[in-house]
Structure 1
Amino acid sequence: MNFLEKIKETAKSQKKKIVLPEALERRTLDAAHVILKEEIADIVLVGNKEDILKAGEGLDLAKAEFIDPATYDEKEDFVSTFCEMRKKKGMTMEKAAEIMLDPVFFGCMLVKKEKADGMVAGAVHATADILRPALQIIKTAPGTKVVSTFFVMQVPGCDYGNNGTFVFADCALNIDPNAEELANIAVSSANSYKQLVGGEPTVGMLSFSTKGSASHEKVDKVVEATKIAKELAPELKLDGELQLDAAIVEKVGKQKAPGSDVAGNANVLVFPDINAGNIGYKLVQRLAKAEAYGPATQGLAKPVNDLSRGCSAEDIVGTVAITAVQAQLQK
């Protein structure tokens, strides 16, 4: 059973309700059809029911819940709640009422009010347009300082990591995290690995240097982040700074970082910035023909996950399954 099959089965074991606010997008509706048919999750489609059904002609969406922000019974409560949340930013009831007509903001409020357990969007919205309402409405989880993203990478025919399965972070959100932020990303990524992949995370803090082989301020950042992460989570197997080969190849790890219990065995790879992370996951995806599941968000009080605008319906199904499992674990 591969990673996605395992996640789907876990999602089915305790179904959660997931909001899909981009309900006029055909890929979203194709995904909803599959999710409902396979009973992976319950689905809320945001918008006018007639318009959604027209956009989804030929699909079975009968088991979906349809909620129109313009006619929703509790819309006044949503508006007043959002206005109160943002009053220090100058929010008015009139402006809040306008914003609550936006399906993404409305979807986040459904999650905030526990009318749903999570949300998936991004097929037709930029990442910022998904995460901004999530941060404004759902906010960060208690004790979390940094919201970040990760990919679960499954590399066929690979003996490294957990039989070719890794968590890569952060590849999509934090452009140039400082040492403290990078440390928090590492700890969150280890937790995501435990929750979704299973087993013990082994975290490699990546750099172009291994244990002082190069001297630069960018290396210093990773060294400091490693120190902070060990203080935050002393129970974790975590080490750095490590070059990629030293992190995942046992022979190289023993040579370059003797005595490290991480070198050569890492299954969670924390990149020093988004340049390295984004390029790295796409190289592995395209050249090694890896499956890349994500970007999934970690650090929010309730799960909201972003999609690539180039995603397929199958990608949306997978992301909904991941979101449902995250919601199970947060409960």
Structure 2
Amino acid sequence: MKLLETIMQRAQQDPQHIVLPEGNEERTLQAADAILAKKAAKITLIGKPSEIQALANQFQLKHIDQATILDPENYDKMEAYAQLLVELRKNKGMTLEQAQKLVKDPLYIGALMIKSGDADGEVAGARNTTGNVLRPALQIVKTKPGVSVVSGAVLLFTESPYGENGFVMMADLAVTPNPTAQELAEIAVMTGHTARTLGGFEPRIALLSFSTKGSAKHELVDKVVEATRIAKEMAPDMQIDGELQADAALVPSVGASKAPGSDVAGHANVLIMPDIQAGNIGYKLVQRLGNAQAIGPVLQGMGAPINDLSRGCSADDIIQMIAITVNQAISLKHNKDGILH
């Protein structure tokens, strides 16, 4: 896929520091070795050094010695991170004793590294649940200014003529089960920024429903209509429209018939699902029945790039997600990544 090649090339041109909290996990190590070989990121692996080295030898990984290996039981900044965690969580009753235990947890260490400026992004989830990955991220890194919701976008590469030459981005598929109109609007705008960051194209954002422009009346439709209004106010520089049925969003002839005069209808490349149930079902149907390649979910709305993996992921999936995380970090440094005002 040309876009995935472009994402990797951008990472190679400006490598960022990515922390991998599951440093002694086989697929993660293989991915780290490949990324280091490509010089697409600076890598910190969190895990017991002897275990990491043994696995590297077992799988004949030739580049792991280029990574920084951080032993979660014994590292220089342990006390400083504990103090930082107390400061960040004192309103929640965090004690120094509690913090000293948590700073031995690789997922907390990863988030604290980012908060301290010691890393630019994180990829985890090959061994941990989404909840475990997100909990320290939300406690320590938190969301972007002006953003109240975290969401997950999937990059879908299809053989269809729709979207951006067969490529569409779809959200939210992973985090917020039933967003409010305000949250849905934020998800739409954040996904637009992700499309700019990763796809390098201008988003045409469709907020999807079972109704197009009032063809059905229901409170579920009302939420999408309101979300569209809010999203347009948030991002007047983006092309956003709704409520649109999926065919009206993607197929030019249907869009022209059902939503005449819309800049988005029939040409959408970003699809915003009304809730996570529709999103999760929708993208998996496209993936399985349409033979599409799905990359992600890419987490959006965090104060720094932190991405969650499926526990069924492959080493190639992790390689792609590290490259995506590097791209997000580059964009954030250049102040191009979706802060809402």
SS in 1 for 2:274: coil
In structure 2, the partner of 1:97 is 100
Aligned pairs (5 A) from 1:126-205: 126-155=129-158, 157-205=159-207
Taking the aligned partners of 1:8 and 1:234, their CA distance within structure 2 comes to 31
- Alignment correspondent of 1:28: 28
For structure 2, the residue ranges without an aligned partner over 5 or more in a row are 334-341
SS at structure 2 position matched to 1:330:
helix
State the distance in 2 between where 1:258 and 1:224 align: 20
Q: So what's the TM-score if we normalise by structure 2? A: 0.95
Distance 1:35 1:145 in 2: 33
Provide structure 1 residue ranges, at least 5 long, that are not aligned to the other structure. Answer: none
Match of 2:81 in 1: 78
The residue aligned with 2:339 is none
How far has the Cα of 1:149 moved from its partner? 1.4
The more displaced of 286-295 and 306-315 is 286-295
Cα displacement (A) at 1:19: 0.6
TM-score w.r.t. length of structure 1:
0.98
Contact 2:24 2:48 (8 Å CA) reproduced: no
2:271 partner SS:
strand
Q: Is the 8 A contact 1:3 1:154 kept in 2?
A: no
SS in 2 for 1:28: helix
Distance 1:147 1:154 in 2: 23
Structure 2 counterpart of 1:118, from 113, 118, 121: 121
Structure 2 matches for 1:1-331, cutoff 5 A? Answer: 2-56=2-56, 57=58, 58-60=60-62, 61-155=64-158, 157-331=159-333
Q: Is the 8 A contact 2:206 2:244 kept in 1?
A: yes
Question: What letter matches 1:8 in structure 2?
Answer: M
Q: CA deviation at 1:23?
A: 1.2
Distance 1:235 1:118 in 2: 28
Q: Distance in 1 between matches of 2:178 and 2:187?
A: 12
Structure-1 separation of matches of 2:29 and 2:238: 41
Q: Count the aligned residue pairs.
A: 330
Cα distance in 2 for partners of 1:100, 1:284 equals: 41
- Asked whether the equivalents of residues 108 and 133 of structure 1 are also in contact (C-alpha less than 8 Å), the reply is yes
Shift of 1:314: 0.2
Cα shift at 1:168:
0.4
Report the secondary structure of 2:66's partner residue. coil
How many percent identity over aligned positions?
52
Post-superposition offset of 1:48: 1.6
Mapped partners of 1:4, 1:49: distance in 2: 32
Is the Cα–Cα contact under 8 Å of residues 202 and 237 in structure 1 kept in the other structure? yes
| 1:226-253, Cα deviation, whole Å (9 max, x unpaired) | 1111111122111110000000000111
**Partner-residue secondary structure (3-state), 1:91:** coil
Distance 2:196 2:332 in 1: 13
| Cα distance in structure 1, aligned partners of 2:304 and 2:243 | 32
8 Å CA contact retained: 1:150, 1:295: yes
What's the CA shift string for 1:92-121, capped at 9, x where partnerless? 111111111110111111111111110000
- Please give the alpha-carbon distance, in whole angstroms, between the structure 1 residues aligned to 2:15 and 2:89: 32
AA aligned to 1:143 is: G
Deviating beyond 3 angstroms after TM superposition, the runs of 4 or more aligned structure 1 residues are: none
Q: Could you tell me how far apart the structure 2 residues matched to 1:200 and 1:40 are? A: 25
> Bigger CA drift: 60-69 or 305-314?
60-69
1:251 and 1:122 map into 2 onto residues whose CA distance is 42
State how far apart, in whole Å, the 1-side matches of 2:125 and 2:290 are. Answer: 26
Give, in angstroms, the shift of residue 24 of structure 1. Answer: 1.6
- Give the secondary-structure state (helix, strand or coil) at the position aligned to 1:7: helix
SS for the counterpart of 1:62 is helix
